[in-house]
Amino acid sequence: MLVMKNTLISCTVILIMTHIACNNGNPANKKYPDKTSATDSIINSAGNTADAAYRKGARLIAANDCFTCHRIEEKTIGPSYREIAAKYHFNEGNVENLSHSVIHGSKGLWGNKEMTAHPNLKMADAKEMVRYILSLDTTNKNTIVK
């Protein structure tokens, strides 16, 4: 019984020391930071963190399956929304073309992966979603068209 008790105490001490050593006693070194991503922010706020002019598009993105393949800041299965915004000027022609790609799917614009079609989306809703995405441009090259 004494051996089991000493073993349990030793294991507990080792776990505590390992935890302290891995974090260097600093909570900032945690594997999963407390920082909320832009994607999480849009999802958790139902789009309320988006600019008011593009909030409906952000809400539609959060309500659909878009975040399965896309994130705002980082590339996952598909390009990030910021990459898309940097590639396409914000104009009605691009809004129309990209909305068509959202509804009918596309392949080859970003490599060999195919974007799934979303035939149940209305064109007006797809345009709102694309306008939100294009509003995320951080290169200052886009002229915003409403």
Which CATH number fits the domain that encloses residue 66?
1.10.760.10
CA angle 123, 68, 76 (to 5 degrees): 110
- For residue 115, say whether it is annotated as part of any ligand binding site: yes
- For residue 70, say whether it is annotated as part of any ligand binding site: yes
Same domain, residue pair 9 and 63: no
The pLDDT of residue 36 is 55
At 107-131, the pLDDT tens digits run 888 888 899 999 999 999 999 999 9
User: What is the Cα 83 distance to its own chain's centre?
Assistant: 12
Same domain, residue pair 2 and 13: yes
Same domain, residue pair 76 and 130: yes
At 136-145, the pLDDT tens digits run 987 765 555 4
Give the DSSP H/E element, type plus range, for residue 126. helix 123-134
The pLDDT of residue 125 is 97
Distance in angstroms (rounded) separating the CA atoms of residues 57 and 46: 10
What is the domain count for the chain? 2
Bridge-based pairing state of the strands 114-115 and 106-107: antiparallel
pLDDT band at 83 (very low <50, low <70, confident <90, very high): very high
Q: How far is CA 83 from CA 56, 63, 105, in A?
A: 21, 21, 18
Domain that holds residue 48: 38-146
- For residue 104, say whether it is annotated as part of any ligand binding site: no
Same domain, residue pair 2 and 71: no
**Is a pLDDT exceeding 70 seen at residue 91?**
yes
Which of the residue ranges 8-22, 35-49, 64-78 has the most confident prediction, judged by mean pLDDT? 64-78
The pLDDT of residue 50 is 73
Percent of the chain with pLDDT over 90: 45
